């Protein structure tokens, strides 16, 4: 990805802004202290700048239909270099982002004032939170902006950015493919290493080793490694149980490469061989997934795909002798059929929005039978093409025969 990509993103964003408006897009805040901490950039800030540095602010000003871009970064502090290294320079930030006007954070207030008094609307990048949680830095800053510039109309910048981010550029798709490829290596390693009697966290460790080895030091989300009854918990997070001989294991994982995410789920038997009942349930989920993927094309929505999935899952649950009426499906299928994927594992877009070419989504049907200690979910990452869809994760095994063949050769 080069600066022309990020420059184009900023142009598209500014074209959506109203005239006589401004926008403030903040980078992720760094954790205080001298101990190392994992830094994950905010998706919107990276999308517009390509920068993976904390505490920075991107400021837009649009007047007379012309847009000005100003970037504010941290000053380097020589005394801190021995602890955390050198801060990014103005020249380096410009080379990566393509932004010409780059200042330091201690200059932000002055430029903000000059721009705010000429603006009618302020697009601001923030997330709301429940009242029981502390107010975020972004919301505190927003309250200051409201107090100092009460005539400004505040609008969420994410409303505009969501429209842009969900249609992926070729370079974004390549990053997602790379994240998927790394995720595949992690999954294949687990399939070749897993044995009953191990603990779930051991499988997580194999995945971590392989993905870090291949250059993905961050996850799209915390791995789910759920065996037996744990596999019926959708967002199981403990990953610490001992794996039983007859357990099915749900592995829901995703590497993150150059800020872009993969999100893959595979289900496999700890013993290396599916039991008859496990095979029955697994095959139902697999066939449902294939049918739903065949429905995916421009013009359909995830909401409509989920309605089709509910119908297919309900029919499957009757065949599996698990339900006696349609409404009972909710006991065995509780989530949505999929979501958008990109700079976040769950890129935001309304479920009833129509899919367009360039969207990347997941398709992940599941059946969870708590009373039988069997959970099955199969998830792939799908690119919406001009007339249909492409399964980007097609090289990750999901057929029963494929999985069992790989597991027969376990170390």
Please state, in angstroms and rounded to a whole number, the distance separating the CA atoms of residues 71 and 102: 5
Percent of the chain with pLDDT over 90: 87
Please state, in angstroms and rounded to a whole number, the distance separating the CA atoms of residues 131 and 137: 15
pLDDT of the residue at 32: 63
Hey, is 166 helix, strand or coil?
coil
Cα–Cα distances (Å) from 141 to 13, 28, 53, 147, 196, in that order, read: 22, 14, 20, 10, 52
pLDDT of the residue at 33: 60
Please state, in angstroms and rounded to a whole number, the distance separating the CA atoms of residues 379 and 309: 13
N- to C-terminal Cα separation, the chain:
39
Cβ–Cβ under 8 Å, residues 271 and 246: yes
Any bridge partners for residue 242, and if so which? 199
The pLDDT tens digits of the residues spanning 57-98 come to 999 999 988 999 999 999 998 888 888 889 999 999 999 999
Please state, in angstroms and rounded to a whole number, the distance separating the CA atoms of residues 105 and 76: 11
The pLDDT tens digits of the residues spanning 191-241 come to 999 999 999 999 999 999 999 999 999 999 999 999 999 999 999 999 999
pLDDT of the residue at 300: 96
Cβ–Cβ under 8 Å, residues 137 and 149: no
pLDDT of the residue at 352: 77
Residues of the chain with pLDDT under 50: none
| DSSP codes of every residue in 81-115 | HHHH-PPPPHHHHHHHH---EEEEGGGHHHHHHHH
Residue 408 tokens, joined: 């027969």
Provide the b/e sequence for 278-290 (b: ≥16 CB within 10 Å).
Answer: bebbbebbbebbe
Q: Which domains does the chain have, with CATH numbers?
A: 3-164 (3.40.350.10), 170-408 (3.90.230.10)
Give the gyration radius of the chain's Cα atoms. 24
pLDDT of the residue at 130: 80
């Amino acid at each position: 990805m080069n600066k022309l990509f990020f420059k184009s993103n900023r142009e598209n964003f500014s074209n959506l802004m109203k005239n006589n408006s401004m926008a403030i897009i903040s980078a992720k805040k760094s954790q205080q202290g001298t101990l190392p901490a994992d830094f994950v950039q905010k998706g919107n800030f990276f999308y517009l700048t390509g920068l993976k540095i904390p505490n920075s602010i991107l400021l837009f000003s649009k007047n007379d239909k012309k847009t000005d871009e100003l970037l504010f970064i941290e000053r380097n502090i020589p005394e801190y270099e021995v602890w955390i290294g050198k801060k990014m320079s103005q020249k380096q930030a410009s080379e990566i982002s393509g932004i010409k006007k780059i200042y330091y954070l201690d200059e932000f207030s002055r430029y903000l004032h000059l721009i705010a008094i000429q603006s009618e609307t302020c697009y601001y990048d923030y997330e709301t939170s429940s009242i029981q949680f502390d107010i975020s830095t972004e919301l505190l800053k927003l309250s200051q902006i409201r107090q100092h510039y009460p005539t400004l109309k505040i609008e969420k910048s994410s409303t505009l950015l969501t429209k842009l981010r969900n249609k992926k550029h070729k370079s974004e798709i390549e990053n997602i493919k790379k994240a998927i490829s790394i995720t595949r290596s992690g999954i294949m390693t687990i399939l070749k290493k897993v044995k009953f009697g191990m603990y779930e966290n051991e499988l997580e460790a194999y995945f971590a080793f392989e993905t870090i080895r291949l250059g993905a030091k961050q996850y799209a989300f915390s791995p789910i490694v759920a065996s037996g009854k744990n596999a019926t918990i959708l967002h199981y997070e403990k990953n610490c149980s001992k794996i039983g001989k007859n357990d099915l294991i749900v592995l829901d994982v995703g590497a993150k490469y150059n800020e872009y995410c993969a999100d893959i789920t595979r289900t496999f038997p700890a013993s290396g061989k599916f039991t008859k009942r496990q095979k029955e349930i697994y095959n139902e989920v697999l066939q449902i997934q294939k049918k739903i993927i065949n429905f995916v094309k421009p013009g359909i929505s995830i909401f409509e795909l989920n309605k089709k999935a509910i119908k297919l899952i309900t029919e499957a649950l009757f065949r599996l002798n698990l339900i006696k009426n349609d409404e009972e499906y909710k006991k065995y299928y509780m989530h949505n059929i999929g979501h958008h994927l990109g700079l976040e594992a769950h890129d935001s877009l309304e479920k009833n929005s129509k899919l367009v070419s360039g969207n990347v989504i997941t398709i992940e049907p599941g059946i969870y039978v708590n009373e039988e200690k069997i959970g099955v979910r199969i998830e792939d990452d799908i690119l919406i093409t001009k007339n249909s869809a492409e399964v980007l994760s097609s090289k990750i095994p999901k057929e029963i025969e494929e999985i069992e063949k790989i597991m027969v050769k376990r170390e």
